[in-house]
Structure 1
């Protein structure tokens, strides 16, 4: 599968020069896993994406961080300072991407010219014409909420490009969780030891809506997957094969607005 073939598939899907795209991809489903396509397949996909959006386009991906002390955040907050005492400072700026977001995200992070946001929990990578503006002034707390790269993606007419990705992996719906008018949204806190100005470890924390377990109790299939399926049923997206994967091109603002309404109707406690 060549760069030119992948670019052709992307353009047939609706990707255009100048587009702002948030990318979620499964290399394995695309037929670009290392077992199928060998080394360099992820780079080939990124080459095709950059060729399709051109020099005026922009690519955005969520990265997170692979933090060795994440296990501490499964413990009660009042115990974390003691658990973190003496651990080496975490270099979140140079840490690998969170494994859950996939190998393409790590290749994207390491690609020369990719800019990174400065948040150990909600770290994004971006490259292209709007990259710096997307990542500027990301909130420390509520890093997926107002002022985040996700809000800017929506306000700037961005699109979500899903290349064989699982239906529960639509990061922009975390922004919808902030927009949804719901009482008592579940919140959480993430604790880290980061290198301070003097190079010593500094215990810091981040408060945000619970982007791990969800903002409300919900039984059954992941509600992000249900929202995506309901929105796709409206037929307002582009779809087709990219490589071997069924793929979708989605208007980010439309999906987020739909998702916020869905949450208001389905996550609210019965009266």
Structure 2
């Protein structure tokens, strides 16, 4: 499977020159896993995506940060400072992407020219014409909310490209969680050790809506899955095949608006 074949599939799906795309993809489902495609499968897809949007376009991915001490964040707040004392600081610019977002995201982070946002929890990467503005000034707290790369994606007419991605993989819906008018949204806190401008380690934390377990109780496993399935049933997206993967192209603003209203109607 060549980059040229993947580019043809992306064009058939509706990807255009100049697009701003947030990408979620499964290399395995596309047929580009290392077992099937060798070591350069991810790079072939990156090449195809960049060719599809061209020099005027922009690609964005959610990365998060792999943090060896992240287990501390499962414990009580009052114990975290002691548990983190003396641990190595998280290297925000060089830390790998968190494992759950996949190898494609990690190769995107490593690719020359990728710009990273400055937040250890809600870290994004972007490449292309609008990358600097998308990654600039991300909030420290509530990093998926107002002022975030997600808000900029929506405001700029961006689209969400899902290439065989799991149904719970729709990061743009985290922005909808901030927009939804609901009482008593569940919040959480993530603690880190980072180095200050002088290289001195310090304990910091981030307050945000709970983007791990959800902002409200829900009887199902993950309400993002229900929202995505309900949205796709409307038929307002483009659908096709990229490589071997069923793929979707969705308008980010329309998806977020639908997700906001769904949460207000279904979450309590």
Indicate the TM-score class for this superposition, using the shorter chain for normalisation. over 0.9
The aligned length equals 268
Corresponding residue number in structure 1 for 2:224: 224
Structure 1, 193-202 or 235-244: larger mean CA deviation: 193-202
Structure 1 residue 197: Cα displacement? 2.1
Corresponding residue number in structure 2 for 1:60: 60
Instruction: Give the distance between the partners of 2:197 and 2:118, measured in 1 at CA.
Output: 15
Corresponding residue number in structure 2 for 1:105: 105
Gaps (5+ residues) in structure 2? none
Instruction: Give the distance between the partners of 1:135 and 1:245, measured in 2 at CA.
Output: 29
5 Å-filtered alignment, 1:24-173, equals 24-173=24-173
Instruction: Give the distance between the partners of 1:151 and 1:261, measured in 2 at CA.
Output: 17
Corresponding residue number in structure 2 for 1:200: 200
Question: Deviations along 1:85-121, whole A, 9 cap, x unmatched?
Answer: 1111111211000000010000000000000001000
5 Å-filtered alignment, 1:224-243, equals 224-243=224-243
Question: Deviations along 1:193-248, whole A, 9 cap, x unmatched?
Answer: 00112212100000000000000011223100100000000000000000000000
SS of 1:191 mapped into structure 2: strand
Corresponding residue number in structure 2 for 1:263: 263
Question: TM-score normalized by structure 1?
Answer: 0.98
Corresponding residue number in structure 2 for 1:12: 12
Instruction: Give the distance between the partners of 1:135 and 1:43, measured in 2 at CA.
Output: 22
Gaps (5+ residues) in structure 1? none
Question: Deviations along 1:120-168, whole A, 9 cap, x unmatched?
Answer: 0000000000000101110000000000000000000000000000000
Question: TM-score normalized by structure 2?
Answer: 0.99
Runs of 4+ with deviation above 4 angstroms: none
CA RMSD of aligned residues (A): 0.6
Instruction: Give the distance between the partners of 1:188 and 1:64, measured in 2 at CA.
Output: 16
